[in-house]
Structure 1
Amino acid sequence: MKDFIAGLPKCELHLHIEGTLEPELKFELAARNGLELPYASVAEMRAAYTFDSLSSFLTIYYEGMKVLRTEPDFYDLATAYLTKAAEQNVRYAEIFFDPQAHTSRGVPFDVVIRGLRRALMDAHARLGVRAQLIMCFLRDFQAEYAMATLLESLPYKEWIAGVGLDSDEKGNPPRKFAAVYERARQEGYLLTMHCDVDQDDAVEHIRQAVEEIGVDRIDHGVNILEDQRLVELVLARGTGLTCCHDLQRLRHRVDEGRGHPQADGPGRAGDDQLRRPGLLRRLRAGEPHRPAGGAAARSRGAGSAPAQRLRDHLAAQAPQGCLSGRDRRLHLVTASPSG
């Protein structure tokens, strides 16, 4: 199973680059920048990577990126991820980055984008991995700050495939950023937006993203299955979803012989429903602040008949995720698995 999964070509369409910062690199960057960390060792830091809600996850997520200060820091961050991605046979990646998490603490926008861009170009030449950037706005900041960030990005828009929206969803609905997204569309950016699982007003937020904002893609969005009208609307428009499989839940369900693995969320949304013809979704290979994983690492361990079901499931997903299509539902941008 390990060799089979390792050999599958993969596309990574839901990856937060700041969330891939591993403890070893974090200590290295802290030393480079003369910073002290609140952990005595890599093991102690790794043990602290526990969370039980979106808000507790975000606390860990933002704390970790304080060591990112210079262009070489961002280059090293992205290079570390892309190197691991290449080792796991990832051919193409769409990478979220959060510029406001850095500009809000005094790191210039161009420092962030130049470091990431240089890493992407080098990885393409050296590793054969093609990757593009999606610039996310932090939804718990003001919409005016998002607009200012959008305007600041325009000199670099040839380096950015699209814009997204992430961070704490509570009290921060999609329509708060309607004007920002309209300007982004006018500037030629493709549009995606996080609608995290089982948040307050989750279905209403998906409706706003689809009907009012008109996004090209929804990240997570599993709660759409609670509203058949929205499902049909997404099918009609060809809007893609990027969904995330939790390995422990997946293994539990497969081990108990319940058929195909379950999509993310606390059990409301079944994988069979998400596989409806035309309702396209992609697996996320790695989770922020679970950086040592990846598709290969997170899909090992099932045995015998359950392993065969998992193998069949993954084999069915691989060609969907890595098609070199002209269909915007597959990716934010057209992607080729070759090279």
Structure 2
Amino acid sequence: MDQILANRLQAMPKVEIHVHLVGAIAAEIVYQMAKKNRVELPVASLDEWKLFYQFRDLAHFVEVYTIASQCIQTPEDYVLIVEQFLKHQSEQNILYSEVHFGTLLHLNKFSDDELIEALETGARTGEIKYGSRVQFIASISRHQPHLQNRALECALRGKEKGAIVGLGLAGVETG
């Protein structure tokens, strides 16, 4: 692609309607949260983590996604990742995104209301700072049927507050 076309594409306003919040976290942010929250990573340094963080295939993406999910321990972590996500989107001139997030990652850590407030705070702050807007789609795991009602409760609570605009089904499809 020539530079003129690349510049035109960069300048075009865009939307992104299917992106996963945890999968879109920058390697540096995951590393920072891991250190802050004392989560052990499979590598010792930030440079090694950046190499490990480069997705090779779906199985490796799921492995990295699982590790990154474990690093999110507080509502403040959600505020940080949403705000940083919007910074990254604005750098690509993506003005609007619909972002999937797991409704169960915060279980036994903090309440649904704290999660929803953190998502809203990150979205509001990121939009003010960077001019990019986000709305959230709550994901329910097809592989955890025993937790689907619990996930739906969180999603409905977020919808009531205006933070969640949709519901998605997540997990590896087989068959």
Task: Please give the TM-score of this superposition, normalised by the length of structure 2.
Answer: 0.86
Q: Does 1:112 align with 2:115?
A: yes
Match of 2:152 in 1: 150
Matches within 5 A, 1:271-282: none
Letter in 1 for 2:18: H
Specify the alignment match of 1:92 in structure 2.
96
Asked whether the 8 Å contact 2:13–2:93 carries over to 1, the reply is: yes
Q: What's the counterpart of residue 67 of structure 2? A: 63
Question: What is the alpha-carbon distance in structure 1 between the residues aligned to residue 9 and residue 118 of structure 2?
Answer: 31
Task: Indicate yes or no: 2:20 matched with 1:19.
Answer: no
Q: Given that residues 22 and 101 in structure 2 are in contact (C-alpha distance below 8 angstroms), is that contact kept between their aligned partners in structure 1?
A: yes
Kindly indicate whether residue 56 of structure 2 is the aligned counterpart of residue 51 of structure 1: yes
Alpha-carbon deviation of 1:16? 0.4
C-alpha separation between the residues in 2 aligned to 1:25 and 1:57? 17
Answer whether contact 1:55 1:168 (CA < 8 A) is retained: no
Cα distance, 1:127 vs. partner? 2.2
User: Which residue is 1:139 aligned to?
Assistant: 142
How many pairs are equivalent? Answer: 168
Where in structure 1 do 4 or more consecutive aligned residues deviate above 4 Å?
none
Identical columns (%): 27
Matches within 5 A, 1:81-230: 81-103=85-107, 106-142=109-145, 144-157=146-159, 158-170=162-174, 200=175
Bigger mean CA deviation after superposition, 25-34 or 106-115: 106-115
Alpha-carbon distance between aligned partners in 1 of 2:139 and 2:158, rounded to the nearest angstrom: 14
* AA matched with 1:126: K
- Counterpart of 2:121 in 1: which secondary structure? helix
Q: Give, in angstroms, the shift of residue 27 of structure 1.
A: 1.9
- Aligned residues: CA RMSD: 1.8
- State the Cα distance separating 1:97 from its structure 2 match: 0.5
Q: Of residues 32, 35, 39 in structure 2, which corresponds to 1:28?
A: 32
One-letter amino acid of the counterpart of residue 127, structure 1 = Y
Question: How has the CA–CA distance of structure 1 residues 63 and 34 changed in structure 2, closer, same or farther, with 3 Å as cutoff?
Answer: closer
Greater shift in the superposed pair: 150-159 or 114-123: 150-159
The equivalent of 2:14 in structure 1 is: 10
Report the Cα distance in structure 2 between the residues aligned to 1:140 and 1:55, rounded to whole angstroms.
16
Instruction: Name 1:238's counterpart in structure 2.
Output: none
Please identify the structure whose Cα radius of gyration is greater. 1
Residue 39 (structure 1) aligned with residue 49 (structure 2): no
Tell me how far 1:139 sits from its aligned partner: 1.2
| 1:146-202 superposed Cα distances (whole Å, 9 cap, x missing partner) | 1222123333212110000111222xxxxxxxxxxxxxxxxxxxxxxxxxxxxx2xx
Contact 2:55 2:61 in 1 (8 A): yes
- In the alignment, the residues of structure 2 paired with residue 55 and residue 23 of structure 1 have an alpha-carbon distance, to the nearest angstrom, of 18
Specify the alignment match of 1:265 in structure 2.
Answer: none
Secondary structure, in 3 states, of the residue corresponding to 2:106?
helix
Q: CA deviation at 1:19?
A: 0.7
More strand by share: 2
- Matched to 2:20, the amino acid is H
Q: What displacement does 1:107 show? A: 4.5
Is the Cα contact below 8 Å between 1:70 and 1:111 reproduced in 2? no
Amino acid at match of 2:138: M
Deviation at 1:56, TM superposition (A): 3.7
What are the Cα deviations for residues 216-261 of structure 1, in whole angstroms up to 9, with x where unaligned? xxxxxxxxxxxxxxxxxxxxxxxxxxxxxxxxxxxxxxxxxxxxxx
Relative to the length of structure 1, the TM-score reads 0.46
Q: Which has the higher contact order (CA 8 A, sep 6+)?
A: 2
